[in-house]
Amino acid sequence: MTIADPAAFIAANTRLQAVPHAPEINLWLADEITPLWRLTEEELGEMGLPPPFWAFAWAGGQALARWILDHPETVAGRRVIDFACGSGLVGIAAMKAGAASVLCADIDPFCAAAVALNAAANGVALTFTERDLLDAAPPPADVVCAGDVCYEKPMTDRVLAWLAQARGQGAQVLIGDPGRTYFPREGLTFLAEYRVPTTRELEDQEIKRASVWAL
């Protein structure tokens, strides 16, 4: 799966705009999901792809970014992983809050370019890997962040087991979630709830309640 120029594709099909619940951050975001989804499939020459997660500021990620910006001591001077980073929103928030370094990880073929563009737009430096981190033990980190990772049960179970492993290695684990079906309620400490502006294209409500939890 090769993409001629993902950065040019992103620049042509999204626009730089402030994140609704974290307006300190600007991201290259799409205004509508369906046209971009179709264009993405055409660009990659493959049908039935998952949505372009990198092109939207999802509610769980917005909540997690807001928490980090409001509680910079959580990440200041620490090594952070932004797991399933999408646009890199949470990683950018961590760097703005004073993180020593952030590793953004996502397997979407557009994410490397999206994260690079968004990092540049916000004047921060992020490291990116397209490696599937779930295939091995979590890399060394002080804080692991995961926003909106509980869409499907098999993936949720796999991600939570990996996050628990990171916690066992000594990392603080923060999860942002807007009440997805497979989000667990056990083994978590509630930190905050936000009313996050979103779109009916992505969610069932224009204002979504999204919470931040510590594992």
List, for residues 114-157, the tens digit of each pLDDT value.
999 999 999 999 999 999 999 999 999 999 999 999 878 898 99
Q: Which residue has the higher pLDDT, 198 or 156?
A: 156
Give percent above pLDDT 90 in the chain: 74
Q: Could you tell me the pTM of the whole model? A: 0.93
> 183 and 155 in contact (C-beta within 8 Å)?
no
Q: Name the band, by pLDDT with cuts 50, 70 and 90, for residue 63.
A: very high
Q: For residues 151 and 193, which has the higher predicted lDDT (pLDDT)?
A: 193
pLDDT of the residue at 59 = 93
Among 50-54, 56-60, 94-98, 205-209, the minimum mean pLDDT is found in 205-209
Residues 27 and 16: beta-carbon distance below 8 Å = yes
d(CA 138, CA 53): 22
Q: Is the pLDDT of residue 52 over 60?
A: yes
Q: Please report, for residues 146, 153, 177, 187, 190, the alpha-carbon distance to residue 181 in angstroms, rounded to integers and kept in the order given.
A: 16, 8, 10, 17, 17
More confident residue, 152 or 168: 168
pLDDT tens digits along 12-35? 999 999 999 999 999 999 988 878
Q: Write down the pLDDT at residue 50.
A: 79
Of 8, 58, 11, 16, give the one whose Cα is nearest residue 33: 58
Give the per-residue pLDDT at 1: 52
User: 210 forms bridges with which residues in the sheet?
Assistant: 194
Q: Mean pLDDT across the stretch 68-89?
A: 98
What rounded mean pLDDT belongs to the chain?
92
Residue 2 confidence (pLDDT) above 80? no
